[in-house]
Structure 1
Amino acid sequence: MLVFGEYGKQKKKDSDAMELLRKIWKEIMKMPREYILNGEEGKYSPRVLFVAAEMGNTEFLVEIISQCPDLMWTVNANKQTIFHVAVSHRHERIYNLLHEIGSMKDVITVYEDTEGNNILHLTGMEPKIYNGLHHLRGDVFKMQWELLWFKEVEAMVPFWYRQKKNKAGITPHELFSENHKKLASKVEKWMKQTATQCIVVAALIATIVFGVAFTIPGGYDQNSGFPTFIGKEIYIAFVISDAISLIFSATSILVFLSVLTSRYDEQDFLKSLSQKLVIGLATLFLSILTMLFAFSLSFFVLYHSTLIWVPIVISMVAVVPVILYAIFYRSLMDVYHSSYGYKYIFKPKQRLLYQNPKY
């Protein structure tokens, strides 16, 4: 059977393979109900269901479940439903179908496979391939993705099953900690290296803008002791932008210091550390931006009356580093989406089951 997986939430046009699969399933639907539910072996449902769940083919599963809801209860040779298989391979769209079947999900989620693992145990096992979100980059995002899955499924499973042990005597949380120990170690190392490097950059910016605050363009009036251009609006803008750059860089240093001194518990990877990373990178970017703005304004202060084209050209060139930083340094956006965007994938706004059946 040919079953093609989906990429993320993108909707693909029906391929020739999908059309062939539909035709095959139409023929299966003409057979006795006993055959459809139990398959050729007389024990397990047709393998095509579980291949579809493994590959993440949500469209096909929605179509056949809409026709025959009893297929949700069938199990494979490992006594796993299609939802257990989807969780094992991290296909969130198939898993989200559980939100649409009402109280029946309380029965399906407590199914145990041949090893005594319930569906929460399966989230504790690190997948070989990170399906669903193919654009995950770096261990930090994988760790966060795994924690999101564990928390979501934990909320779905009845309370007394969250601490239930499998045949090996291991609880879901213990299984998660054991299987993600190496990944957590890699994330901790990456975060500490990133925080250290960013602290160096932020400290350098703070040193520069702090020195500029006392070596202002135009110097000081020898009689009054006040800056020469103190009455100019451009000079006021320069001073303010320089001060803002210093404040942002100091904030960035403090935030990254808190990252270095964190306990690095599992729960910290889900929210605390990622939020600190977002704030630290954002303030570092703003400190660079305001530093370049102050740099450009300093030329306007000196050449506002003559050679005005000089500060204009310099200001245009000063924009280039900011643009390049935004284009090539994607860590800020990656961390932001991982922290605030992915958590909504388990809250589908549109129902998929029993909507516009094709047969």
Structure 2
Amino acid sequence: MAMILAVANSVAHLDILTDVAVAAFQMQSELEWFKAVESWIIPDVRTFISDSKKYWKIFVSEHEELRKNGEKWMKDTANSCMLVSTLIGTVLFAAAFTMPGDNNGITGVPLLLGQDSLLLFAISDGLGLFSSVTAILLFLAILTSRYEMQDFLESLPKRIIFGLCFLFLSLAFMLVAFAATLTIVLNKRLEWVVIPITLLASLPVALFVVLQLPLLFLMFKSTYGRSIFRAESIWMESNILK
């Protein structure tokens, strides 16, 4: 009711609604307002209510449809991102055992061990594999969540945000490792190939940033920005407006 009244009175100074047009973060915004109003009520009045959980039960019943929509969005997003993370992790894991430039037949040491390109490949491959596995675990945690109302306040939003961040890192490291490998293979034949390889490898990263960064920024703002629950600041601003 506090949020509805604020919208009706056009209190633009407050971050009333989240800018992320998905059910999960709309649920987060509703929970923030409920917690703000709940903490504003003085303890004596709160304990005076015969059924202290009455208003929470009303809130849960009225937002059950929104909770289901948020759960569906979270699961669909986690499933899609987990598939991509698994593919990236599989590629990077296989690449770790197939060093470019072949190995010494006796010692097994890579023949190009002293080159900077091979060092860049090894570091990028390891960091990319670590990032993809971390993203997989975060998305798996989303899929196995209980999807209680309270989970939409902090737990689920943080998991989806960090999962997307690690997915982006794994994609970037994979492309760096790929560019380093092509540089090793083609550098002696075509010395000018380094620049076009770098530009082509950065294209998918730039495309990911353009397509996903706006949504990720809004999710980050909704979770960590001013719209996150700060009851004292909310009511302080409301009193100033009065």
Return the TM-score normalized by structure 1. Answer: 0.59
CA contact (8 A) 1:87 1:95 kept: no
1:88 is aligned to 4
1:275-354 equivalent positions in 2, closer than 5 A: 275-329=158-212, 330-341=214-225, 342-343=227-228, 347=233
- Secondary structure at the aligned position of 1:338 is classed as helix
1:1-359 equivalent positions in 2, closer than 5 A: 87-91=3-7, 94=11, 132-133=16-17, 135-162=19-46, 164=49, 171-329=54-212, 330-341=214-225, 342-343=227-228, 347=233
CA contact (8 A) 1:255 1:280 kept: yes
Tell me how far apart the structure 1 counterparts of residues 211 and 205 of structure 2 sit (CA, whole Å): 10
Give a deviation string over 1:174-207, Cα, whole Å, max 9, x none. 1100100110011111111111111111110011
Give a deviation string over 1:210-236, Cα, whole Å, max 9, x none. 111112211112343211211112211
Work out the percentage of aligned pairs sharing the same amino acid.
35
User: Structure 1 residues 95, 255: CA separation in 2 closer, same or farther (over 3 Å shift)?
Assistant: same
Give a deviation string over 1:148-199, Cα, whole Å, max 9, x none. 1011111111224446379xx9822111001001100111111111111111
Tell me how far apart the structure 1 counterparts of residues 81 and 195 of structure 2 sit (CA, whole Å): 30
- Secondary structure at the aligned position of 1:147 is classed as helix
Where relative contact order (Cα < 8 A, 6+ residues apart) is larger, the structure is 2
Range that drifts further, 283-292 or 216-225: 216-225
User: Structure 1 residues 351, 89: CA separation in 2 closer, same or farther (over 3 Å shift)?
Assistant: closer
Return the TM-score normalized by structure 2. Answer: 0.86
- Secondary structure at the aligned position of 1:264 is classed as coil
User: Structure 1 residues 201, 251: CA separation in 2 closer, same or farther (over 3 Å shift)?
Assistant: same
CA contact (8 A) 2:18 2:222 kept: no
Tell me how far apart the structure 2 counterparts of residues 141 and 354 of structure 1 sit (CA, whole Å): 28
Which aligned runs of 4 or more in structure 1 are off by greater than 6 angstroms? Answer: 350-355
CA contact (8 A) 1:209 1:242 kept: yes
Give a deviation string over 1:114-140, Cα, whole Å, max 9, x none. xxxxxxxxxxxxxxxxx9437331111
Deviation of the 1:241 alpha carbon: 0.5
Tell me how far apart the structure 1 counterparts of residues 10 and 187 of structure 2 sit (CA, whole Å): 59
1:62 is aligned to none
Tell me how far apart the structure 2 counterparts of residues 312 and 198 of structure 1 sit (CA, whole Å): 30
Number of equivalences: 236
Deviation of the 1:351 alpha carbon: 6.5
- Secondary structure at the aligned position of 1:253 is classed as helix
Give a deviation string over 1:23-64, Cα, whole Å, max 9, x none. xxxxxxxxxxxxxxxxxxxxxxxxxxxxxxxxxxxxxxxxxx
Which stretches in structure 1 are left out of the alignment for 5+ residues? 1-83, 98-130
Aligned residue identity for 2:180: L
Larger radius of gyration: 1
CA RMSD between the two structures: 3.0
